[in-house]
Amino acid sequence: MGNDKKDREKEEKEKKEYQEGLKKTLIPILFGLLAGIICYSIFVATPYALSVGDPAKESLDNGIVPATLLDLLETKGHSVPENATVEKQGTDKWLINDETGSNICIVKADGNTLNIYTSIKSEDWLLIAILIILLQKFAYPLFKTKIEGAKDWLYIGFMTLFCWFMTFTLFLSLLF
């Protein structure tokens, strides 16, 4: 009789530990996905827009960067070398590379507007992921999960950053 009670208590304890482990794994994954989606949404919501006509699209189709696009990129602090190449990536989508082959920007046409997505050069993306990690401090008490020490926070931080990086990278690959 005493053994049955100890076995049940042991099983309940193992079950609680398993559930807590799941929470400590799934919550950072979800927060990492959220951080990746937020970063991607910010990046896609803020392209440089340039209203042009069909001649600019024809210039891009012919492998020439239009002067209006060059002027816009120069005013925004992105220099385009004279020997930049334009590759057509699909219908109304062009990739502008410099002489080394690295991407300068991606141009997508939407009607008579060119949306220009430049290379990512900001550290703000990582800041968003770190803020999401800090927000988890307030999420765990809601799920009645105890965070015990630095080891748990290192795990939570690693899982969140990993999922943020994977989500943000996969979404950017869809755009590019």
Is pLDDT at 166 greater than 80 in this prediction?
A: yes
3-class DSSP state of 113: strand
CA dist 104 and 171 (Å) reads 19
Same domain? For 51 and 114 the reply is yes
Domain that holds residue 58: 46-118
Residue type, 97: N
Same domain? For 56 and 112 the reply is yes
In a domain? residue 82: yes
Q: Each residue of 29-72: pLDDT tens digit?
A: 999 999 999 988 888 777 777 776 667 778 888 888 887 887 87
Same domain? For 140 and 111 the reply is no
Q: Which of 13-22, 87-96, 120-129 has the lowest mean pLDDT?
A: 120-129
Tokens 């979404």 belong to residue: 171
- DSSP class of residue 119 equals P
CA dist 114 and 61 (Å) reads 13
Same domain? For 31 and 51 the reply is no
Same domain? For 50 and 114 the reply is yes
Domains in the chain, number? 2
In a domain? residue 1: no
Same domain? For 80 and 109 the reply is yes
Sheet of 113-118, strand order: 48-51, 113-118, 103-110, 93-97, 85-90
Tokens 């053994």 belong to residue: 3
Same domain? For 52 and 139 the reply is no
pLDDT value, residue 140: 87
In a domain? residue 151: yes
Same domain? For 81 and 94 the reply is yes
Same domain? For 35 and 65 the reply is no
In a domain? residue 15: no
pLDDT value, residue 155: 92
Q: How far is CA 175 from CA 48, 108, 128, in A?
A: 15, 10, 20
pLDDT value, residue 107: 81
Same domain? For 108 and 132 the reply is no
Q: Would you state the structure tokens that stand for residue 87, as one six-digit string?
A: 């590759």
